[in-house]
Chain A
Amino acid sequence: MQFFIDNFPLLRDAFLTTLSLSLLAGLLALVLGTLLAALRVSPITPLRGLATFYVETFRNTPLTVVFFFLIFGLPQIDFAVGFFTGSVIAVGLYTAAFVAEAVRSGINAVPSGQAEASRALGLSFGQSLREVVLPQAFRTVVPPLGNVWIAMVKNTSIAAGFAVTELTASLQRLSNANAGELVLVLLAIVLGYMLITVPSAFAVSRLERRVAILR
C-alpha cells in the first residue's frame, strides 16, 4: 500500500497522459478513418486509389516506424511537433487505417439495394452515404471498432520510447527505483490500462445491444 501512496502522483499523471493520448488519437482515428472509408467506396477512381494507398501504407508499417518518422523524421524537414502532439498524430494516423477497414466492412454489409434506392430517389452520393448507408454501417461495426479502440489504447505504450511519460514510461522509471517490489509496479501499470479498457469493453457491448439492427 505504501508503494501506491508514495508513487500516486506519478501514477496518476501517467494514467491521465495515457487516457488523454488515447482519447485524442481515437478521435483523430475515427474522423480520418470514416473519411477514408467513404473515399474507398467513392465512385471517383483517384480518390479510391488514394485511400487504398493510405490504408495499405499505414496498416503494413510498424507503429514504431511511424513514431520514428513523426518524432525524428519531420524535424529534419523543418516541421517539428511536440513529443505529445507527435504521439497523438502517430497513433491516430496508424489507427485510422484500421478504423477505415472496419467501417468499410460495415458499408459493404449494408445491402446494395439501399444505396441504389437512395440514388434512385435523387440523393447525391454524399447524401446517400451520410443519411442512409453510414448510419446502418456504424451499427454493424460497433464490435470491431471496440477491438480497434482497445488495441489502440495499448498501442499508446509505444509513446513511452518517445519522451511521453505515460503508463509504460512510468513502469520503466518505477521498476528501476523499486526493484524489490516489481510485482506491485507491474500490478499498478496493468490496473491503469484496465481502468480504460475494461469499462470500454463493457460500454461497447452495451452499445452493441442498443443499436443492433434487427433484420
Chain B
Amino acid sequence: MAGHKHPSYLKIYFTLLILFIISVLGPELAEILGLEGVSRVVLVLSTAFGIAIWKAYLVCAYFMHLKVEKIYAPYILLACLSLLFVFFFGTATDAMFANGHNWVKEYSEEKALAEVIARDEHHEDDHGHSESHDDSHSEEKSH
C-alpha cells in the first residue's frame, strides 16, 4: 500500500464529528419545534439516516481506503449490499401485508401501544422501586 497519498485523517475525523452532531440534533430539533407528519419524517430521516449513509461513505472511502483499493473490493461489498436489498424488498412484499383471510391475529398494534403506555405510567408511579417493579413486570409478561 505504499506509494499512494493519504488524505488527512484528522480532517475526515472532524467532518465525521460534525455530521455526528447534526445527526443527534436533527431529531431533537424536530421534537423541540413540535413538527408533525411529513416534515418531521423528512427531517428525522434525512438527519438520522441520510447522515449515517454519508458517514459510512466517508469511513469506507478514506479510513478503509476503498478509494484507492483495487476495484474488486468495492464490488464485493456492493454485491453483498445489493443482495441485502433483494432480501429486504422480497420479504417486504410478504411481511408488510401480514393479514390472512383464514386466520385471526391476536396481536393488535393498538393493544401493544396501550400496553407500552400503561407500563410507562406504572413505571412513573413507583419510581425508585425499580426492583419490585421489575418483578411485577416479568409476571405480567409470563402468561
Chains A and B bind each other: no
